[in-house]
Every structure is written in C-alpha cells, then in structure tokens.
A and B are shown apart, each in its own frame.
Chain A
C-alpha cells in the first residue's frame, strides 16, 4: 500500500476544506443578510412552528422578490429545536459564534425563549420574540421586541381582557381550570391574581397534568362549585377533551361564561372537528375576521397562506400565528430601512420610538419591548356549523366581545343558553 506523505495529506486536507467551504464563502460574498433562529418543526409545538416558518418564508420571498432588504437578499439560517428547550442554548451559540448571523429571531414559544434570553442580554443582541410570554419582564433587555399582541408586562396581564369582560358583566366568582404546563400554569396564576384584584372569589383551582383525556371528574368539581364563570387555560388535546366533556357531563346553570385561554381551538383542525360543540365558548385569539380588524394586506396574506398551508399539511386557517410571524419580518424590514442599516442598536432605538405598519395593524412597542397595548381579542363562538372550517374565513361565527374597541357584538349568556 502506498503511503501518503504528511505534506500530501496537508495539501489534500486544505483542498477538501476549500471545496466544502466554497459554497458558504460564495454565499457570504453575495453579502446577504442572514437571519438566524430555531423553530419547532418536530415535537409538541411543531404545528405552530411549521405554520410560523411558512409565514416567515412568505415574508422572505416577498422582500427578496422586491429587491431585498437594503439591496441585499435575505437568507434564513434555521434549525429545528424539536420543541425542546434543552436544544436551544446550543443552537443559538452556533448561530452567534459559528454561523455568525446578522440578526436573531427567538424560537417559537415561551419555554424555548426562556433559555436563550440571558445569552442575548449578555451579548447585547437584537432579538425578535415569537409568541413568548413575559420573558423580558425581569430581564428588561432593551433590544428585545415581541411580535405577539400580549401588551405590556404580559406575564401578569395578557389574559386580563377575559376578566375585564367578567367584571363588566358583574360576575363575582370563578373556577380556574388549568394544565400543569408552563403557559397554562402562568395564565392560571395571572388569572387568579387579576380575579383577586377585581374582588372576585376564586372558588377552586382545578389543575391537571398535560394531555389528560378524561375531564369528567374536573367538570363535576366545577359544577359542584357553581361559579359565575370558568377560566380555562389548556393545551390542544385537553381543550378538545374539555369541549367534549361539557357535552357529555353538562355544565352548571350558574356558569355564565366559559373559556379564556384554551390553546388549540384557534386552529383549523380543531375548529373543524369540534364544530358546533364550540358554541358559547369565549376564548382568546390574536386575529378574527371582523370589520374592526380589517388591516391592509391581511386578507391577501391569508389567501396566499392557505394555498401554501394546504401543500405543507399545516393549519390551513392561519389566523392565530402566521400573520404575526409575517409581521415580524415587516418589523425588521421597517427598522432596517428607517435606519438604513442592520445596526442592532439603531434598529432597537428606532423601534422604541416609531410605530410599524404591518398586516396585523400598526404596532407600537413599549419600553419592555412588548406591544404598548394589549390587543388580544376574546371571541364568542356562535352558530358554528360542524365540519366547516371555511365558515371562519368570513365574519359572523366568532363574535368579538372584548375589548370593547374591537367588539362586533355583545356576549350571550348564560353559557348553557349560548351553547344551545
């Protein structure tokens, strides 16, 4: 066997490295703006992650089609975080130190954002949050901005609208039902505090472990307490089981309002599958087709998104997340264009003082990087037909009852009557 000399080995190694590295070098030479992030493509929150990525890709295609951002093409460096927070620190260290991306988007979701925020604060990097809640409440990173319309100090306040509605209706007692998972547990804790602040009595807190399928016992306990209203903070599988549970077990006559923070029933699959069983529920949403929410570009975006979603097997309605992910791109573009740079300090400074027009309406950021006003909507499902997701593409099946500024109708009570 012929031996390879050390020099030959060295030359071969250099040539191989150059060959492998060439595409990256050429790509860098093209001087694109590289935006790096992780987003769940597998795991528990992948349905949201996939829909979000589809929307971000739509924005990238649009901006590149229009000549790029500041004349440079936009490139994404994306990793699948598998919906697991443990993967996130490694991914973001790689994005910053090896991929050396120009701008950073946070992962989708609160738990995953929580583990990368200290690193971003330490390195003083610009971060665009994607549906995390309250991760900047304590850190107060001045280069953090959140696309979701939670409003200021979201950890304590994002679900306040539901309790404002209950207060306006004069309800005095509540039962809280929540999953023992980060988002739901935080929502329940915040809800409990707000109820206390409004002088409402929390009759009981029924919490359960994620992905429970039988809610008979919990609903019986709710009924035994006879509350004025029920605040539910659940994840998709549980939301479906709870909605079925109400049909199966029934609900106490005292319950005027039911819902709050039920994740999952905003998506096409559950809207279609649960159908008329949703009637009467009042739940949070980020966007509802309504005259009061006719923002420039949103209808066209949803039409385009629907075609893509059908091909990619993701949420075909796309009201809850995708428009806001797209708006995230618009926020970056607006700041970069206004400052004529991707200097993170300049972009952040500009965003703190200027509203941005997006497909989800004008967004103005407060000091903590969240929307300066909470713009979540609480809609009541009315007259929903079974197996028909298209009914939600036009106005009328989700009546906005909170906030008053965006309301399209008044809440129908009690819940039992609204269900009928």
Chain B
C-alpha cells in the first residue's frame, strides 16, 4: 500500500507540475527576462480558457482550440506591450510599482469584461479523455492531468529552442541583458520586447486550454495562480526556461507528497516554502539568472 501511495503521489505531482509549468512559462519571459511584473498573466490564462471553452462548444478539442487562438493572443500581447511602452517606458516611468499597478488594472478590466460577456458561472471543456486514466500497473494517471503535462513540456521545449536558437529569441535575451548594446548593433529593444510579450501571451492561450482540461474555470480563478506562478519563475532562476520546467515539477511533486502524507491544507504553502529554502541556499534560483 505504501509503495502504491508513494508511486502514485510522485506521478500525480509531476503531472500537476506540468500544469504549473505551462502556466508559468509566459512569466518566465515577461517577469524573468524583461523584469516586467505582469500580474495580469494568470487572468490572460483564464481568458485563454474561456476562448477554448467557446471553441470546444463548437466541437474542437481543447488543446487544438488553444493552438488556434494562440496567434490572436500573440497580437494581443504585442498590443499590450505597446500600451505599456507608450504609457510608461517611453516616458521613463517604468518602475516596478507603476508596472504592477498597470497590469493589476489590466487584470481587473479583463475580469470585468469576462463577467459581462461570459457570465460568472463555471465553464468546463469537454473531451473524450476527461475523467479517464492511463493505468500502468499500480499507477493511475488521469488524462485530465497528462494532457496539461504534455502541453507544458512541449511549450517549454519550444520556448527553450526559440530563445536559444532563433535570432528573435536571442534578441529577446539580449534586450533583457543590455538593451543599449542591442540598440548599438542596430536592433530595436522595443521591437524585441513586443515580440517577447506576444510570445508570452501565446503561452497564456495554450496554458488556458490546459487549465480548462484540468478543472472548470470562472473569471476569478486567475488569482489562485498569481503567487504560485511567480514563485516558480523565481525558484527557477529568473528567465530560465529549463529552470521553470524543473521548478514547476518540483513544486508539483512536493505538493502531491504533502497532500498524500501530511495533509492537503499544507500543500499551497509548499511553493513558497520551497522558494524561501532555495533563496536562502541559492539566491539566483535553481538554474541561476538566465539573462
């Protein structure tokens, strides 16, 4: 029985970590690399979930729906950065408090729009695999969590390749490191940041589809993910994509083991306990700062 409980707890934790990873990857770019505290990111994930739900009602698989809406989110992300740039960065007023206020306001407006357009009831997605499990010996893995886990890995791998192997990706990392140097070589830091925001928002679309596969959503559920996603990014090492994946999996794993052997009430504290422990031992996070 102990082996069964432990092995299932480990697998469930890793799967849950996949969901946390996909929810955090956008922040790895905006907060981890660009140092812009986009607290609206979880609300954009909820928007992604609502768009997914709409397309799912038309018969599309939730994950496919997430991919379809991603380009629109990319454009939306670019527009969001442009608004932020015009309001703050261009005027040299992009300090943390003002950025935080701006994105908090964006999150509130978005939440109200969701309420007005879609109502306040829970929304769920429908797919043949929801409610079923993959059974491997004594281990049962819910597809409801396998799918977000797989999405998290794919998005994480894609983002890592993009940031390390493409010119735009390298430009985004360069702007995080030294925007003046980027300007000297003839590239526009604003353009690079605009792309970065677009990509971060694309991940929100896909994360939304993963979230609604895992559980129903309402317009307010984004607030549940703010602390956890920021904790993952800091724990990972600011801007590190592999670190985000590992950090999210570690938090998921610890939460699951705590739920099984200690008590579920303690589980949400795990993210912050792990963060504090990591910062005490290794202040730059698991993988170090990646800018």
Contacts and interface: CB of A to CB of B under 8 A. Distances in A.
At the interface, is chain A mostly helix, strand, loop or mixed?
A: helix
A116 B268 CA distance: 31
A220 B8 contact: yes
Interface stretch (B123-131, B194-202, B230-238): B123-131
Nearest to A276: B131
Contacts of B8: 216-217, 220
A270 B144 CA distance: 17
Nearest to A221: B260
A237 B220 CA distance: 12
Q: Which of B133, B216, B256 has the most CB of A within 10 A?
A: B216
Interface string A237-273: 1001100110111100000000000001001111001
Contacts of B109: none
Nearest to A387: B126
Contacts of B218: 44, 47, 236-237
Given A207-B263, A314-B120, A244 B221 contact: no
A240 B212 CA distance: 12
Contacts of B119: 47, 50, 312-314
B122 A211 contact: no
Interface footprint category on A: 35 or more
Interface string B12-30: 1001100100000000000
Interface in A208-251: 208-209, 211-214, 216-218, 220-221, 224, 236-237, 240-241, 244-245, 247-250
Interface in A194-210: 206-209
B241 to A, nearest CB: 24
A151 to B, nearest CB: 28
A47 B126 contact: no
27 contacts: A41-B120, A50-B119, A206-B263, A209-B265, A214-B16, A214-B142, A217-B8, A217-B12, A217-B259, A220-B4, A220-B5, A221-B5, A224-B1, A236-B218, A237-B216, A237-B217, A240-B124, A244-B130, A244-B142, A248-B132, A248-B133, A249-B133, A249-B140, A267-B121, A270-B124, A313-B121, A387-B126
9 smallest A-B Cβ distances: which pairs? Answer: A313-B119, A208-B264, A248-B142, A217-B259, A46-B120, A273-B124, A247-B131, A217-B260, A213-B215
